């Protein structure tokens, strides 16, 4: 329990932890040694049970089948689900779908909601988000070459994207494309919904992440748009509002990610402690008797607790005052928690020795895939610069004018 826990979420968390431990974690071995697609029938069965339990899409309003949790409450839910790489998917609150649901819920037209949002909320389809381009630095997202040219009642989309997560098997891509090239940099791009069965949409490959190509939902794709014609009614929001919409997506998204990171850390710490107690260096001398292991455990505990408080404090501020009021805190948690994640995973792997770098535990999987936590949603260096700039302004120094 912590100061941000409500009665509602206090009653919910034990149910989630039990379900994750008893129903989801036992499927991890099959996933780690097989494929996501092969596991989908079992995952779909679990998704059906989650619906029956009334826990489906907990981030959504009650009217849309959710639990109408605050961002702070959902953050605590995200931590519990983050204990397994399959957790969020089973509850239909996985990235990038959760971000796209929030976008469509806020900005989609009634027709767009009927066509794209409603089946997404029901879990009948998946989606992806196409923004990053291999030809440009992702740390400066205003630089992009993908275009959407208006021709009558259609947009013609041409471009090249990568790290379009979960494109493999998705039904549509929310695509960032330049529609207004003569405008200021942050008003040039728009978001357009491109169904993946549109002629000209090409999934080039699933990109290998440290040797792991992945498949289905668990993948990161390179895609091309070659004269993709979509109805002009597929424009999400207004022309030129792409970056403004992206900010609506990113603020809550960073809370989701950071609390998922903390769930990973808690599971890694649990695995580390269990192994340290059980593994004997010699008869009667477990790893846990070594002071360096004790130090790693203590440091991990302190860092996780500090990270959790920082994230929940930020989420609570967003709930009360909006994301803009907490923008520096959002930047702070992004780089701080991503680094805690890396430290805790590294200690857990080191404690497990050779076992830690195999797929006989989930640690190596997370180490491969979550190293990117310091890169996606803005690299650490960008967030640190944002924070330092704000602090230095209080001392009369403007970094931007220097």
pLDDT value for 108: 97
pLDDT value for 402: 63
Hey, which CATH number is domain 7-122, 3.10.310.40, 3.90.1150.10, 1.10.540.10, 1.10.10.10?
A: 1.10.540.10
Identify the CATH homologous superfamily for domain 127-236: Butyryl-CoA Dehydrogenase, subunit A, domain 2 (2.40.110.10)
User: Considering only the top CATH level, what class is 243-401?
Assistant: mainly alpha
pLDDT value for 377: 81
| Domain range list for the chain | 7-122, 127-236, 243-401
Question: Residue length, the chain?
Answer: 402
pTM of the shown model:
0.96
Assign 3-class secondary structure to 183-213. Answer: CCHHHCEEEEEEECCCCCEEEEEECCECCEC
Q: Which of 244, 209, 215, 254 is nearest to 95 (CA)?
A: 254
pLDDT value for 401: 72
Cis ω on the peptide bond leading into residue 96 (within 30° of 0)?
Answer: yes
Angle made by CA atoms 292, 295, 299, in degrees to the nearest 5: 145
249 neighbors 99 (Cβ within 8 angstroms): yes
Per-residue pLDDT of the chain (402 residues; tens, 9 = 90+): 688 999 999 999 999 999 999 999 999 999 999 999 999 999 999 999 999 999 999 999 999 999 999 999 999 999 999 999 999 999 999 999 999 999 999 999 999 999 999 999 999 999 999 999 999 988 888 899 999 999 999 999 999 999 999 999 999 999 999 999 999 989 999 999 999 999 999 999 999 999 999 999 999 999 999 999 999 999 999 999 999 998 888 778 889 999 999 999 999 999 999 999 999 999 999 999 999 999 999 999 999 999 999 999 999 999 999 998 999 999 999 999 999 999 999 999 999 999 999 999 999 999 999 999 999 888 999 999 989 999 999 999 998 776
pLDDT value for 306: 98
Assign 3-class secondary structure to 51-110. Answer: HHCCCCCCCCCHHHCCCCCCHHHHHHHHHHHCCCCCHHHHCCCCCCHHHHHHHHHHHCCH
């Amino acid at each position: 329990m912590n100061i941000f826990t409500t009665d509602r979420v206090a009653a919910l968390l034990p149910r989630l932890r039990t379900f994750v431990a008893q129903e989801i974690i036992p499927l991890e071995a099959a996933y780690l040694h097989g494929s996501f697609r092969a596991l989908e029938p079992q995952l779909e069965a679990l998704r059906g049970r989650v619906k029956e339990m009334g826990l489906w899409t907990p981030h959504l309003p009650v009217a849309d089948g959710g639990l109408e949790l605050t961002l702070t409450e959902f953050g605590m839910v995200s931590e519990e689900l983050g204990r397994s790489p399959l957790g969020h998917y089973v509850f239909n609150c996985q990235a990038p779908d959760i971000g796209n649901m929030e976008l469509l819920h806020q900005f989609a037209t009634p027709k767009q909601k009927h066509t794209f949002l409603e089946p997404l909320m029901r879990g009948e389809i998946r989606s992806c988000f196409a923004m990053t381009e291999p030809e440009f630095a992702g740390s400066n997202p205003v630089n992009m070459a993908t275009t959407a040219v208006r021709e009558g009642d259609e947009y013609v989309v041409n471009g090249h994207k990568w790290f379009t997560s979960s494109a493999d098997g998705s039904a549509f891509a929310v695509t960032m494309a330049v529609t207004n090239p003569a405008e200021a940099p942050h008003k040039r791009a728009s978001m357009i919904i491109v169904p993946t069965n549109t002629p000209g949409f090409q999934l080039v490959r699933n990109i290998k992440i440290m040797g792991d190509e992945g498949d289905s939902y668990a993948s990161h794709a390179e895609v091309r748009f070659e004269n993709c014609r979509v109805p002009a009614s597929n424009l999400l929001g207004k022309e030129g509002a792409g970056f403004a919409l992206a900010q609506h997506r990113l603020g809550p998204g960073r809370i989701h990610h950071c609390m998922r990171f903390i769930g990973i850390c808690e599971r890694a710490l649990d695995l580390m402690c269990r192994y340290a107690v059980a593994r004997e260096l010699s008869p009667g001398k477990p790893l846990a008797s070594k002071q360096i292991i004790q130090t790693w455990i203590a440091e991990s505990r302190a860092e996780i607790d500090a990270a959790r408080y920082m994230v929940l404090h930020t989420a609570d501020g967003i709930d009360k005052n909006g994301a803009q009021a907490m923008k520096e805190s959002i930047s702070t948690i992004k780089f701080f928690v991503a680094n805690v994640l890396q430290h805790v995973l590294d200690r857990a792997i080191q404690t497990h020795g050779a076992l830690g770098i195999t797929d006989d535990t989930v640690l190596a999987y997370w180490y491969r895939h979550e190293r990117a936590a310091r890169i996606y949603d803005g690299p650490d260096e960008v967030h640190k610069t944002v924070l330092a700039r704000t602090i230095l302004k209080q001392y009369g120094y403007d970094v931007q004018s220097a």
